[in-house]
Structure 1
Amino acid sequence: MMHITIWNENRHEQKNPEVKEIYPEGIHGQLKSFLEGAHTVTTATLDEPEHGLTDEVLKKTDVLLWWGHLAHEEVSDEVVEKVRQRVLEGMGLIVLHSAHFSKIFKVLMGTSCDLKWREADETERLWVVDPSHPITEGIGEYIELEREEMYGEHFDIPAPDQLVFLSWFEGGEVFRSGCTYQRGNGRIFYFRPGHETYPTYHNDKVQRVIQNAVEWAAPLSRPRPIYGNAPSIEEIKPKN
């Protein structure tokens, strides 16, 4: 059984009654509801000391889920660096929806992670473009969401190690909506849907993708490679 930590900035739920109605326990509470049981799940939010991501919490976390939107800049650079180091050591990271603009995702990608967007209550169809990938298990050919926020290309990210989902929107745009990366010993999955005013995280197939992603991102039982100046393995004989 893994230890999962769900991080949510938890601001929309406090400011917007519509979001509170959809997610009465917060987005983090909804994510926890379908992940707990199979795993030990705890939550952390922006306004807790150290954003709830203390050294003790991060040390025991196998996979970290991250949702943010309004307050990316309020996240401490010190905490971001601690999370980055844990990813490099092997902790899995699942980056959800508007967390594409989070400090942690941008520092791990090394790009702006910018994109086009529109809120117009339009249909999104997420096509499975890598049916062999374990994150797609149990999904079928696509996921259709009746209403979602549009994200459109160009999405300023590095080319994914694996492109798992490609979204089409009613207004005509497409978007790389399920992307995997490896950084150090850690695995990262970016998953696009999840706008706060839509009940996306109540969708069974969206839940299945996130459940699959948590399993895929599980850390390996191996130490991080050693870097820097290294002694020779074999004897180096003097050259004449």
Structure 2
Amino acid sequence: MPSPKPPTALRVTVWGEGLHEQRDAGVAERYPDGMHGAVAQGIAEHLGEAAVLRTATLAEPEHGLTEEVLAETDVLTWWGHLAHREVSDEVVERVRRRVLAGMGLIALHSAHWSKIFTRLMGTTCTLRWRSVGERELVWTVDPAHPIAAGVPHPIVIEQQEMYGEFFDIPVPDELVFISSFSGGEVFRSGCTFRRGHGRIFYFGPGDQDYPVYHHPDVRRVIANAVRWAAPRGGGAKPRLEHSDTGWWAAGGDEQP
């Protein structure tokens, strides 16, 4: 259930599979409140009373993403890994419609291969990977972007799974961060996209085998992204409309 906040607060739903924490004692020790719990805590640390937070997981009815929940969500964060295929196509389509209507989406780490991200991108979203606990440096390439506000250059993550190019995504609308790894690879680790009225941010850092979602700078980036992705208007999915000649003479934006 969401915590009580002022009516003007951003309504944020933090979604996670919630499986690694149940199956791996090491993950449960790193994330005693779940990975989604750590992400939610980081957002709360930075946004405070400006956000009302709820969490949802795969095991809940409709994955916790009912029509009612999504109607009350301004920004949705998504982390998945083990069970991308188990996410209901009906729920994915429901989320997609909400993004097109203006809901923000923050796709985290292995959510690059989630159904919702690949559907919105229209590509495979595949990449190189290796998990041996390498150092990741997250370099800011757009320091004027709101998502980079207050973020050091670079963010130093001592242990992290390597994600590297080629990353099969569309050309980002904005490239905010590029990561380099001690094994030599680079990765477009912070990318923005717009679909319909909705804003999308993909952020690479954050694996179950390392305590990355406790990293203060990673938490700051996610909180900044939530604020940036908040709806700016719209409210309805773009649609096909018939337009008669001279419609503007009957009142401008409205059809006669």
With the length of structure 1 as denominator, give the TM-score of the two structures. Answer: 0.95
CA drift at 1:221: 2.7
Distance 2:197 2:244 in 1: 23
Match of 2:217 among 190, 199, 205: 205
Distance 2:124 2:21 in 1: 27
The question of whether the paired residues in 1 share the 8 Å contact of 2:197 and 2:233 is answered with no
* Corresponding residue for residue 229 of structure 1: 242
For residues 81-118 of structure 1, the C-alpha deviation after alignment (integer angstroms, 9 at most, x for no partner) is 00000000000000000000000000000000000100
* Corresponding residue for residue 76 of structure 2: 64
Distance 2:235 2:163 in 1: 37
Match of 1:2 among 1, 4, 10: 10
Query: How many residue pairs align between the two structures?
Result: 235
Q: Secondary structure at the match of 2:97?
A: helix
Distance 1:88 1:28 in 2: 24
**CA 234–91 in structure 1, closer or farther in 2 if over 3 Å, else same:** closer
Distance 1:200 1:211 in 2: 14
Report the identity percentage: 59
Match of 1:15 among 11, 23, 34: 23
CA drift at 1:74: 0.0
* Corresponding residue for residue 189 of structure 2: 177
CA drift at 1:197: 1.2
Distance 1:188 1:27 in 2: 20
Unaligned runs of 5+ in 1: 236-240
Distance 1:34 1:149 in 2: 20
Distance 1:29 1:188 in 2: 21
CA drift at 1:33: 1.3
**Would you say 1:195 and 2:207 are equivalent positions?**
yes
- The one-letter amino acid of 2:183's match is G
- The one-letter amino acid of 1:11's match is L
The question of whether the paired residues in 1 share the 8 Å contact of 2:101 and 2:234 is answered with no
**Would you say 1:142 and 2:154 are equivalent positions?**
yes
* Corresponding residue for residue 26 of structure 1: 34
Unaligned runs of 5+ in 2: 1-8, 250-256
Q: Secondary structure at the match of 1:148?
A: strand
- The one-letter amino acid of 1:108's match is L
Q: Secondary structure at the match of 1:69?
A: coil
* Corresponding residue for residue 160 of structure 1: 172
* Corresponding residue for residue 112 of structure 2: 100
- The one-letter amino acid of 1:77's match is D
CA drift at 1:223: 3.9
- The one-letter amino acid of 1:76's match is S
* Corresponding residue for residue 253 of structure 2: none
For residues 35-87 of structure 1, the C-alpha deviation after alignment (integer angstroms, 9 at most, x for no partner) is 23331100000011000000000001000000000000000000000000000
Q: Secondary structure at the match of 1:156?
A: coil
Distance 1:148 1:226 in 2: 42
- The one-letter amino acid of 1:155's match is F
Q: Secondary structure at the match of 2:161?
A: strand
Give the RMSD, CA atoms, in angstroms. Answer: 1.1
Distance 2:87 2:235 in 1: 28
- The one-letter amino acid of 2:16's match is N
- The one-letter amino acid of 2:15's match is W
CA drift at 1:120: 1.0
CA drift at 1:220: 1.3
CA drift at 1:228: 2.6
**CA 5–223 in structure 1, closer or farther in 2 if over 3 Å, else same:** closer
- The one-letter amino acid of 1:230's match is S
